[in-house]
Structure 1
Amino acid sequence: MRASGTPAGINLKDGSISSQRNIALFHDYFAIRGGGERLVLVLARELEGCTLVHGYRTQDSYDGEAFPERSVSLDLPLPFRRSGLRVMALAAAFTRRRGWAASVPVRIFSGVAAPFAAPAKGKGGVNIFYCHTPPRFLFDQRDHFLARQGAVRGLAAGVAMRRFEKGYRAAVRRMDVVVANSQNTRARISRYLGRDSVVVPPPVDTDEFSWGGQGDYYLSTARLTPLKQVDRIVEAFREMPDRKLVVVSGGEELEVLTRRAAGAPNITFRGWVDDAELRALVGNAIATVYLPLDEDFGMSPVESMAAGKPVIGVAEGGLLETVLPDETGVLLPPDFSNDQLKQAVAAMTPQRAAAMRAACEARAQAFTREKFVAGMKAVIEEALRQAARKA
C-alpha cells in the first residue's frame, strides 16, 4: 500500500479535531459517480490530514482531480473485480491492512468490505463506521439475491455469504461508533446488527443544482438495477406516449430496459453523463421520478428538490425523511400499481410542478454539504473525547 506522505501523529488525549492530522478513511471502491462515492470524497477533502484508502477506481467514476492528494489505491486486480468475487476479494485486501490502520488514531470506514480493515477496539485510536446500509444481499434482500444465482451457483453463493457475514458482523462489533445515513438505515442497523447508531444525513451539493427552466420531460436518475424499479417507470411511460421520459444513468439492466422501451419514441436513455449535463437535465425537467424499494436515504430526490423540481416517489425508506407529500412531491404507496404511477405523472403538470419550486428549494437546505461535514466532525470529536476518558 502506497501513500503520498507520512501522516503526522497526534495526541489522542487532546480530543479536538482541530489538532487532528492523522485520519484514515477506508472505502470499498470507486466504479460509478454515485452518492456514496461523493460522500467519501467530500469527507476526505474536508478532514484535514485525511488519507483515503480504497480498493480501486475505474474510469467510469470520478477522475483523479476529485481525489485528495493523500489517496491510496489497493489496486485490486481486474479478475477479482467481477461481481461474484469482488466483495470477498476486497474484504481480504482490507483485512491485510489492519496493522497499518491500527497505527492511525482515527479510522473511518465506508462500504461493505472496508470495515474489515478495522483493528480491535480498546487498543488505541477509534473506529467509526459510516453505514450506508447493512448489506442488503445479506439481510432483507438475501432471498432475492440467491434466487438470481440459480441452483448450483446459489449453493456456492450461500456458503460464501455465510462466511462473509461472520466477518462483517465481527467488523461491526469492532466499531466504537456507527453512523447511519437516515433513520431508516438506523432501524436496519438495529434490527440486523444489534447496534445503535447516530444519524448524519449524507451531503448533497445543493448549490450545484438549481432551477434552469422547465423542459417537456420527466427525469429518472436511479441506477438501472432491480431494486431501483426503473422498469416500472419505463413501463408506465410506454403507456403514456404523450409524456416524455429521460433516463440518465446506467447499470446491469440497461440492455433489458432499452429493449423494453423499443418503439417508444417518448423514452430516451442517456446513460451515465458528466456532472454538468446531469445538473442541466435535472434543472430543466418538469419533475423527477424515483421509486426504489425501501431506499436507504436517496440523494437523487434531494438534488431534484435543490433544483426546484418535485419528486414523484414512493412512501417508504429514505424518501419518507426527505420528500414532503404534496409540498415537494408526491409519494405513492409502496405497493403502487401501474395506473397509480401514471395518474401521479399526469397530475404533476408543469404548472403544479412549478408551484412547488420554492418549497423544494427550501427543503433541500436541510441536507447540505456543510451540515454533513459539521455532523461528522462532531461524531469524531465525541469519539476522541470518549477515547481520552478511557486512556
Structure 2
Amino acid sequence: MAVKGIVLYDFLLVRGGAERLTLDLVRGLPGVDLCVGYRDPQAFPAEEIADLHCHDLAAATALPGWRTLKVMRAFAGPATRFLADYDWALFSGSNAPLAVRHRLGGRNLYYCHTLPRFVYDLRDYYLKRFPLPLRPALLALMAYVKPRYEASMAAMDTLIANSENVRGRLRRYLGRDATVVNPPIDTERFRWRQQGDYFLSLARLEDFKRVDLIIEAFRRLPSQQLVVASGGSQAERLRRLADGLPNVRFTSWLNDQQLAELIGGARATIYIPRDEDFGMSPVESMAAGKPVIGVAEGGLLETVLDGETGLMLPADPTVEHLIEAVSALSADRALAMRHAAEARAQLFSRARFIERMRAVIEAAPAAVR
C-alpha cells in the first residue's frame, strides 16, 4: 500500500513566504494532499492550485480576531476527522496544528515558521499598541490560543524549525528541540535582470516590519527611489506617511512574475523587521544578485553576509543608520556584490529544501495503527 501524506496550513490568504513554502512542499512530494482553513480566491485563484488535491475547510472571515477563532475551530472540529486515513501529516501555522487531535496514532510533524508571537515574545508589544478598550478581548484571545497551541505541540512527534532563531524560541517557550530546515527559494525564478536604480522594500506592512523607518529615511534622501511592494494592515497609514514624496512608490501585492521582475531590476532590497523568524525576501533578493540592507538580528544573521551580500544595520536601527547604508550602497558597489549574493542564495534552493524535508518525514516515528 502506498504511503499517504498530507500537509496542513492555516489559510491561503496572502502570497507570503509560508504560503509559497506550503505549496512548494506539496508539489515537491508527489501524491501528497493539502488542507487549508480557507483560500482567498483573489490571492490564489482555483486554477492556480488545480493540480493539487486540496481540502478547503471554508472558514473564511474578514475579521482578524474572529478569523483566528474560526479557523482554529474548523481544524479542531469534525471536518478534519479524515486525517486518520493518512500515514503521516505535517502541520504548519498556528491554527492548523489543532487538527492533530484526530491523528492520535503518531507520525505527526510540525513545521514551525514561528510561534504565535502575540502570545509569546511579542505579547507586551501587541498589548501596548492595542486600543485600551479592546485589550480585554486581546487578552481573552491570548488565553484561548496559548493552551490549545501548546497541547497541539505536545502531540507532535517531530518538530522542524525554519531557522536557528525559531529553533531557539521553541526551546525557550516550549522546552522542545527541533530540526532546522530552511525555507525554499525559487532560485530559477529570481534572477538578475538589469542594474536598476531603485531600492525595494518587500516586507509586509505591519508595525514590527519597521517599513515606516525606511520611508522616513527616503524622505531625507529625495534623490533615491524606493518601491514598496507589499500590503498589510498598516498600508493606509504608511501611504499617508509617504504622501507628497515623489521618490516613494507603492505597488501593493504583486503576482509572482511581476515580483520577480521588480526584484531582478532593483539596485538592492531593504529588509529590517524586528527579530525576523527567517526572512525569505532577503534570500530571494540575493538569488537575483541583489544585495540586502538588513538588520543584525533574527533570521537575517543566518542568511546575509555583512559586506559580501549586503550591509547589516544594528539590531535597533535608526533613520540615520538607513540613510548611511543607502548612501554607501552605490550602483557600482551593489553590482560588485552580485555573484556572492547569487552563490549564497543557492544554499537555500527549492531542491535542497525538498530533499531535506523528505529525509525528515521518512525518519519520523512510524504511525501506530
Same fold (TM over 0.5): yes
The alpha-carbon deviation at position 332 of structure 1 amounts to 0.3
- Structure-to-structure mapping, 1:225-244, within 5 angstroms: 225-244=206-225
1:171 aligns with 2:141: no
Q: Deviations over 1:249-299 (max 9, x none)?
A: 111111111111111111111111111111111111111000000000001
- Structure-to-structure mapping, 1:180-329, within 5 angstroms: 180-329=161-310
- C-alpha distance in 2 between matches for 1:300 and 1:51: 27
- C-alpha distance in 2 between matches for 1:77 and 1:301: 30
Q: 2:52 aligns with which of 59, 69, 76?
A: 69
Any gaps of 5 or more consecutive residues in structure 2?
Answer: none
SS in structure 1 at match of 2:298: coil
- Structure-to-structure mapping, 1:373-384, within 5 angstroms: 373-383=354-364
The alpha-carbon deviation at position 46 of structure 1 amounts to 1.6
Report the equivalent of 1:347.
328
The alpha-carbon deviation at position 215 of structure 1 amounts to 1.4
More displaced stretch, 270-279 vs 230-239: 270-279
Q: 2:351 aligns with which of 320, 345, 370?
A: 370
Q: Would you say the 8 A contact 1:102–1:125 is kept in 2?
A: no
Describe the shift of the 1:70–1:120 C-alpha distance in structure 2 as closer, same or farther (beyond 3 A).
closer
- C-alpha distance in 2 between matches for 1:379 and 1:239: 49
- C-alpha distance in 1 between matches for 2:261 and 2:31: 34
The alpha-carbon deviation at position 61 of structure 1 amounts to 2.1
The code of the aligned residue for 1:70 comes to: H
Q: 2:99 aligns with which of 107, 114, 117?
A: 117
Report the equivalent of 1:334.
315
Aligned-pair Cα RMSD in Å = 1.5
SS in structure 1 at match of 2:286: helix
The alpha-carbon deviation at position 155 of structure 1 amounts to 1.2
Q: Deviations over 1:81-100 (max 9, x none)?
A: 41011111111110114532
1:387 aligns with 2:369: no
Q: Would you say the 8 A contact 2:191–2:288 is kept in 1?
A: yes
Q: Would you say the 8 A contact 1:101–1:119 is kept in 2?
A: no
The code of the aligned residue for 2:91 comes to: F
The alpha-carbon deviation at position 184 of structure 1 amounts to 0.4
Q: Would you say the 8 A contact 1:295–1:316 is kept in 2?
A: yes
1:52 aligns with 2:34: yes
The code of the aligned residue for 1:100 comes to: F
- C-alpha distance in 1 between matches for 2:154 and 2:102: 9
The code of the aligned residue for 2:366 comes to: A
1:159 aligns with 2:140: yes
Report the equivalent of 1:31.
13
Report the equivalent of 1:92.
73
Aligned length: 367
Q: Percent identity?
A: 48
Query: What is the TM-score when the length of structure 1 is the normalising length?
Result: 0.91
SS in structure 2 at match of 1:49: coil
SS in structure 2 at match of 1:119: helix
- C-alpha distance in 2 between matches for 1:164 and 1:321: 30
- C-alpha distance in 2 between matches for 1:194 and 1:95: 24
The code of the aligned residue for 2:253 comes to: W
- C-alpha distance in 2 between matches for 1:26 and 1:135: 16
- C-alpha distance in 2 between matches for 1:342 and 1:297: 24
1:129 aligns with 2:110: yes
Q: Would you say the 8 A contact 1:41–1:66 is kept in 2?
A: no
Query: What is the TM-score when the length of structure 2 is the normalising length?
Result: 0.96
More displaced stretch, 324-333 vs 69-78: 69-78
Deviation beyond 6 Å, 4+ runs, structure 1: none
The code of the aligned residue for 1:233 comes to: I
Q: Deviations over 1:101-150 (max 9, x none)?
A: 223110110111000001377x4341000010111111111112223332
Q: Deviations over 1:135-194 (max 9, x none)?
A: 111111111222333233211221221121111100000000010000000001111111
